[in-house]
Structure 1
């Protein structure tokens, strides 16, 4: 399926609202090929079919995503909304892949490039993304302040995040070796 995923190197010169696009002027887009080089995978699916989507089932089976749940992130539905958004936006890594499927709304994932620059990935309804274990990243909503996402896991869900610096973890070292950055 054709993709419309948009990503770019971020302008980090200001401390403005984390929910703003933070594009450089001129914009410096990042291609899907560049994202794949750092281990980020993307699929475009039909979220209106997510409960019975054969393509989602194929991806889940192929990658072993056996557990899933759905979370709605907006002020009225997420307890401790502001605290959670701040926590999601702290730079961190996980020891397992992070898999998210946007069922509605919009959000951003920021990931570190090989050169340690921030890349902002605009997630929209229908985007499914996998961030590899060991990649530094963070998450935030955009200015709509709403997203509904499916969280997928291999096996039981693991929620533990390790804030940067976390370079001594074996998963981080394996990740760096995978992208030939060591």
Structure 2
């Protein structure tokens, strides 16, 4: 995974939008974003390593989704617009890229800057509950992703706005950042 600040220039969301300013692992950790690279292998050893992360984080369920023209047909562009709208979840979002690639953009709370995380096969990312983020494919236009869940699979997005800013999960997330900054 490669992380850098989004350039905020107009253009297709699937383009790199690389500002040239890299983002360190420490910066990602400071906003609660964790990631690992677990290479896909023929023997399926990657599954054991993904299982270890899932067990450590108390994830019990998973599914696999494909986002591409082949899998979604005419709904692809509609889905991408939904995923790209700035939102948060009340659960951690954990994704393991099995094939293809895409971008997770995460909002750096203090600066309001977007950090773009380009993920490819073997990359696993955990986004904390309450962080504002968005997702899009890259120019390859296809990804196959394992989604992990603590309980039953669900994906409920709360689009950014005053009501979501007051959501308890968002408030808890922001408070956790202030606690980290103090320590």
SS of match in other structure, 2:173: helix
Displacement of 1:162 in angstroms is 0.5
Larger strand percent: 2
Residue 125 of structure 1 is matched in structure 2 by 121
Gaps spanning 5+ residues in structure 1: where? none
Q: 1:164 aligns with which of 153, 160, 164?
A: 160
1:45 correspondence with 2:41: no
Per the alignment, residue 36 of structure 1 pairs with 29
Equivalent-residue separation in structure 1 for 2:70 and 2:149 (angstroms): 26
Counterpart position of 1:150:
146
Flag structure 2 segments of 5+ consecutive residues without an equivalent: none
Q: Distance in 1 between matches of 2:44 and 2:62?
A: 11
Equivalent-residue separation in structure 2 for 1:93 and 1:126 (angstroms): 24
- How many Å separate the matches in 2 of 1:7 and 1:18? 16
What residue is the counterpart of 1:108 in the other structure?
A: 103
> Residue 63 in 1 paired to residue 61 in 2?
no
Figure out how many residues of one structure are paired with residues of the other and give that number. Answer: 174
Aligned-partner Cα distance in 2 for 1:110–1:164? 14
**For each residue in 1:126-153, what CA deviation from the matched residue of structure 2 results, as whole angstroms up to 9, or x when unmatched?**
0000000000000000000011100111
Q: CA deviation at 1:53?
A: 2.5
Q: Which of 9, 18, 25 is 1:23 aligned to? A: 18
Matches of 1:156 and 1:169 in 2, distance apart? 21
- Structure 2 distance, partners of 1:158, 1:86, is 19
Corresponding residue for 1:54? 48
Secondary structure of the corresponding residue to residue 9 of structure 1 = strand
C-alpha distance 41-10 of structure 1, shift in aligned 2 (>3 A): same
Q: TM-score, normalised by structure 1?
A: 0.91
Deviations, residues 30-57 of structure 1 (Å, cap 9, x unaligned): 0111101000010111223558732112
